[in-house]
Amino acid sequence: MADRTKRSFLGNRAALTRARFIAGFLAAPVLLYLVYVISPYAQAFSIAMTDWRGVSAHPGFVGLANFERLLGDGVFWTAVRHNGLLLVLMPIGTLVIALFFAFLLNAGGATAASGVFGARFYRVVFFFPQGLAVAIVAVLFQQVFRPDGSGMLNAPLIALGLEPVGFLSDPGVALWSILGVLVWQAVGFYVVLFSAGMASIPRELYEAAEIDGAGRGRLFFRVTLPLLWDTVQVGWIYLGIAALDVFAIVWVMTAEHGGPDHATTVMAAEIYRNAFQYFKFGYASAMGVVLFFFTVAFAAVALRLSRRERVEF
Amino acid sequence: MASQAGSQPVALARSAARERRRRVLGPLAGLSHGALLVWTALVVVPIVWTFLASVKTEDEIFGSAWSLPAVPRWDNWARAWEQAHVGRYMLNSVVVVSLGTAGTMLLGSMAAYVLARYRFRGGRAVYLLFVSGLAFPVYLALTPLFFVVRNMGSLPLIGPLIGLDSYGGLVLVYIAYSLPFTVFFLSAFFRTLPGAVAEAAFVDGASHARVFFQIMLPLARPGIVSITIFNVLGQWNQYQIPLVLLSGQSKDKWVLTQGIADISTAAGYDADWAALFAALSMAILPMLVVYTIFQRQIQAGLTAGALK
């Protein structure tokens, strides 16, 4: 009897120290997270239904008026269209180039099961742009794309007597320049990612396929790609979300932050512009909500479309 | 024995096939190198070109974009360091990112550990709350975040340390926004660790906190290293959040990305282009050095990060 009381007393004490430990370890991270992440996200949805411009203490509730106005906002839809274009082209461009190079690195050697000489060196160099801050990359390419004889790309054109290309000043070209920079920075990462995936494919599979007379192209499409499909899918979703979040490249690199004449603007730039330059906080939050639903919809569709039979090996 | 003898012809056939391929596909390897070298050039040339331009005179930059400088003009670098405050921005970035990453790793690993290895009411909900942060675009939160930080600034005593235009505010926001992925990644890692060692320590009378700091944390080192690198790079590269939280009135607190971008966008017709190239080179150089030293860990850390 006395023994049992003692034990449950000890058990209670242990449970108490355990609970205290759990609470102690979680308190700071959860508090920080609630204040700086969860509460802003929650507030964004309610601010989106106000006409708040930062001056009044009590923002007026306007219901869905901001969203109605968004429907007629040409610039915003231009931005959505640009994001949509990048959403399709940036993953395709990046993944195709990265798969090509990863396959060359891992199966481009003398035999399909051997990598090329110096594969490690290429991976190190290709990956480097990933280590550069996006804002720095933007400034770098702003200089590379300069329209006059001081631009890296236009100097040789001018020297050859050709018309210089307005990489960032010609509305028909500017978005393609943005796309090029995005792909330039992303490719190395996926080369490394796919290389790691390809390295785990058993060499016997390649050798067996080679004995059966399969060429490089068939090897790639019949062996490598199916076995790599999960990784490609992850890459696609990751790049798609990155395409919806493009900001620094556009904001820093282009004239008028998304120009010329809105030719390169994206949703994130319009949100920032409306909030912190025009101080239309309610309207900008409504744009944020639209971006949120685009992101969620994209992730859902991407997961659904790319679900396939998983190949075991 | 029998199986070894059986595999012999297969191995022979394989090496014969390998030999055949080598003869047929020799040129292909050459073409591979060609393609790979083209991309190598695409990566390297813009960077080398920037470094070259950083030691040219203004006339050389505008006269001939591809020429070598007659004499290397290091005074461009001096001007960028002094007048464009690149040194100051870099120091700010180092301060904010060190504090931000240290805080992220401490708080993130604590939360991840408790959520991964203790069962308690509401634990699952807290975990899902953290992980849900992975799905939201940061642009949705920007406006309210600005006001949250501004309101923090009016708190008594600590307000000025964590409000707008303060290192503290930026550091706390960096930590909070790095938590979802850190918690997600590390709790998966803590779950895989063996429990026997920890239990032995409990029997010996070690406290929960002591088991965490002296046993589980060292055991989780590979995961901690990966995710630290991931967070350092992520916070060092951050541009959007400082742009919102550090206004033009606090230029002395700006981080490097913000400073360089500003030199570039604010540059008018009478801009000091040579100094801009020098500033750009100064921003790239430390990244290049750090990357060369840690490239293996950086690649591992970032790829581990992407496969969430």
Could you give the ipTM of this predicted complex?
Answer: 0.85
| CA distance, residue B166 to nearest chain A CA (Å) | 15
Question: Quick check: B299 and A109 CB within 8 A?
Answer: no
Q: Which domain holds residue A261?
A: 67-306
Among A35, A111, A252, the residue with its CB nearest the CB of B265 is A252
Question: Quick check: B40 and A125 CB within 8 A?
Answer: yes
Question: Quick check: B207 and A21 CB within 8 A?
Answer: yes
Evaluate if residue B253 carries a pLDDT over 90: no
Rg (CA), chain B: 26
Does A132 lie in the same domain as A251?
yes
Domain total in chain A: 2
Evaluate if residue A30 carries a pLDDT over 90: yes
Among A104, A129, A252, the residue with its CB nearest the CB of B35 is A104
Give the model's pLDDT for residue A34. Answer: 93
Give the model's pLDDT for residue A20. Answer: 87
Domain ranges of chain B: 7-54, 74-305
Question: Quick check: A38 and B133 CB within 8 A?
Answer: yes
Q: Decide if B43 touches A, using CB distance below 8 A.
A: yes
Of the pLDDT bands very low, low, confident and very high (cuts 50, 70, 90), residue B15 is low
Q: Quick check: is A158 in a domain?
A: yes
Question: Quick check: B143 and A275 CB within 8 A?
Answer: yes
Q: Quick check: is A258 in a domain?
A: yes
Q: How many Å is the maximal CA-CA distance in chain B? A: 83
Among B25, B113, B239, the residue with its CB nearest the CB of A135 is B239
SS3 label, residue B9: helix
Give the model's pLDDT for residue A279. Answer: 87
Among B143, B173, B208, the residue with its CB nearest the CB of A44 is B143
Question: Quick check: A210 and B40 CB within 8 A?
Answer: no
Q: Quick check: is A230 in a domain?
A: yes
The structure tokens listed for A123 are 């991976």
Highest-confidence segment of A53-57, A70-74, A229-233, B240-244: B240-244
Mean of the per-residue pLDDT values of chain B: 82
Among A136, A207, A216, the residue with its CB nearest the CB of B14 is A207
Q: What is the 3-state secondary structure (H, E, C) of chain A?
A: CHHHHHHHHHHHHHHHHHHHHHHHHHHHHHHHHHHHHHHHHHHHHHHCCECCCCCCCCCCECCCHHHHHHHCCHHHHHHHHHHHHHHHHHHHHHHHHHHHHHHHHHHCCCCCCCCCCCHHHHHHHHHHHHHCCHHHHHHHHHHHCCCCCCCCCHHHHHHCCCCCCCCCCCCCCHHHHHHHHHHHHHHHHHHHHHHHHHHCCCHHHHHHHHHCCCCHHHHHHHHHHHHHHHHHHHHHHHHHHHHHCCCHHHHHHCHHHCCCCCCCCCHHHHHHHHHHCCCCHHHHHHHHHHHHHHHHHHHHHHHHHCCCCCCCC
Give the model's pLDDT for residue A272. Answer: 92
Q: For A270, name the nearest residue in chain B, comparing CA atoms only.
A: B139
Highest-confidence segment of A84-98, B2-16, B80-94: A84-98
Evaluate if residue B120 carries a pLDDT over 50: yes
Does A24 lie in the same domain as A149?
no
Question: Quick check: B29 and A108 CB within 8 A?
Answer: yes
Whole-model pTM? Answer: 0.85
CB atoms within 10 A of CB A73: 18
Which of B:187-206 have CB within 8 Å of A?
A: none
Question: Quick check: A116 and B33 CB within 8 A?
Answer: yes
Q: Quick check: is A313 in a domain?
A: no
Q: Quick check: is A58 in a domain?
A: no
Q: Which residues of B touch A35 (CB under 8 A)?
A: 148, 176
Evaluate if residue A309 carries a pLDDT over 70: no
| CA distance, residue B87 to nearest chain A CA (Å) | 15
Q: Which residues of B touch A17 (CB under 8 A)?
A: 207-208
CA B269/CA A59 separation, integer angstroms? 42
Give the model's pLDDT for residue B1. Answer: 39
Give the model's pLDDT for residue A94. Answer: 95
Give the model's pLDDT for residue A308. Answer: 55
CA A100/CA A95 separation, integer angstroms? 8
**Where does B74-305 sit in CATH, by number?**
1.10.3720.10
Evaluate if residue B308 carries a pLDDT over 60: no
Question: Quick check: A131 and B291 CB within 8 A?
Answer: yes
- Determine the residue among A104, A142, A158 to mutate to test chain B binding: the one whose Cβ has the most chain B Cβ atoms within 10 Å: A104
CB B161 within 8 A of CB A57: no
Task: Look up residue B69 and give its DSSP letter.
Answer: P
Mean of the per-residue pLDDT values of chain A: 83
CATH of the domain at A251: 1.10.3720.10
Helix orientation angle between A74-107 and B2-53, rounded to the nearest 10 degrees: 130
CA B281/CA B300 separation, integer angstroms? 26
Evaluate if residue B195 carries a pLDDT over 90: no
Give the model's pLDDT for residue A2. Answer: 47
Task: Work out the average pLDDT over A281-293.
Answer: 90
- Determine the residue among B139, B173, B217, B285 to mutate to test chain A binding: the one whose Cβ has the most chain A Cβ atoms within 10 Å: B139
Question: Quick check: A131 and B264 CB within 8 A?
Answer: no
Give the model's pLDDT for residue A9. Answer: 58
Task: Work out the average pLDDT over B189-202.
Answer: 84
Cα dihedral B23, B24, B29, B31 sign: positive
Does A185 lie in the same domain as A41?
no
Mean pLDDT lowest for which of A276-280, B58-62, B184-188?
A: B58-62
For B233-246, write each residue's pLDDT tens digit.
889 989 999 998 88
Cα dihedral B208, B214, B216, B221 sign: positive
Question: Quick check: A276 and B66 CB within 8 A?
Answer: no
Question: Quick check: A154 and B65 CB within 8 A?
Answer: yes
Of the pLDDT bands very low, low, confident and very high (cuts 50, 70, 90), residue B61 is confident
- Determine the residue among B32, B114, B138, B199 to mutate to test chain A binding: the one whose Cβ has the most chain A Cβ atoms within 10 Å: B32
Q: How many CB pairs under 8 A join A and B?
A: 298
The structure tokens listed for B139 are 């642009």
Question: Quick check: B18 and A142 CB within 8 A?
Answer: no
Evaluate if residue B62 carries a pLDDT over 90: no
Q: For B34, name the nearest residue in chain A, comparing CA atoms only.
A: A104
Cα separations in angstroms, B49 against A24, A150, A193, B287, B288: 53, 11, 28, 17, 15
Give the model's pLDDT for residue B28. Answer: 64
Does A159 lie in the same domain as A133?
yes
Evaluate if residue A85 carries a pLDDT over 90: yes
Give the model's pLDDT for residue A90. Answer: 94
| CA distance, residue A213 to nearest chain B CA (Å) | 9
Give the model's pLDDT for residue A1. Answer: 43
CA A104/CA B229 separation, integer angstroms? 28
Task: Work out the average pLDDT over B285-303.
Answer: 83
| CA distance, residue A20 to nearest chain B CA (Å) | 10
CA B272/CA B143 separation, integer angstroms? 34
Which ranges constitute the DSSP H helices of B54-203?
58-63, 75-82, 86-117, 123-132, 138-152, 159-162, 167-192, 196-203
Give the model's pLDDT for residue A218. Answer: 79
CB B228 within 8 A of CB B105: yes
Q: For A299, name the nearest residue in chain B, comparing CA atoms only.
A: B135
pLDDT greater at residue B58 or residue A311: B58
For A116-170, write each residue's pLDDT tens digit.
777 888 888 998 898 888 988 998 998 888 887 777 888 778 878 787 887 888 8
Give the model's pLDDT for residue B73. Answer: 81
Task: Work out the average pLDDT over B291-300.
Answer: 82
| CA distance, residue A64 to nearest chain B CA (Å) | 17
Task: Work out the average pLDDT over A202-212.
Answer: 80
pLDDT greater at residue A129 or residue B154: A129
For A167-201, write each residue's pLDDT tens digit.
888 888 889 999 999 999 999 889 988 888 888 78
Q: Quick check: is A18 in a domain?
A: yes
Q: Quick check: is A166 in a domain?
A: yes
Q: Which residues of B touch A32 (CB under 8 A)?
A: 107, 172, 175-176, 179
CB A161 within 8 A of CB A149: no
Task: Work out the average pLDDT over B151-157.
Answer: 82
Q: Nearest CA to B134 among A165, A226, A241, A252?
A: A241
Does A297 lie in the same domain as A185?
yes
Q: Nearest CA to A63 among A76, A72, A51?
A: A51
| CA distance, residue B255 to nearest chain A CA (Å) | 11
Q: For A47, name the nearest residue in chain B, comparing CA atoms only.
A: B144
b/e per residue A151-180 (b: at least 16 CB within 10 A): bbbbbeebeeeeebbbbbbeeebbbebbbe
Which of B:249-308 have CB within 8 Å of A?
A: 256-258, 260-261, 263-265, 273, 276-277, 280, 283-284, 287-288, 290-292, 295, 298-299, 302-303, 306-307
pLDDT greater at residue A262 or residue B174: B174
CA A149/CA B238 separation, integer angstroms? 32
- CA torsion A130-A135-A139-A145 (nearest 10°) is 60
Q: Quick check: is A311 in a domain?
A: no
Q: Which residues of A touch B172 (CB under 8 A)?
A: 32, 36
Q: For B152, name the nearest residue in chain A, comparing CA atoms only.
A: A35
Evaluate if residue A98 carries a pLDDT over 90: yes
Question: Quick check: B299 and A127 CB within 8 A?
Answer: yes
Does A21 lie in the same domain as A86?
no
CA A167/CA A144 separation, integer angstroms? 9
Cα separations in angstroms, B290 against B94, B229, B293: 13, 11, 5
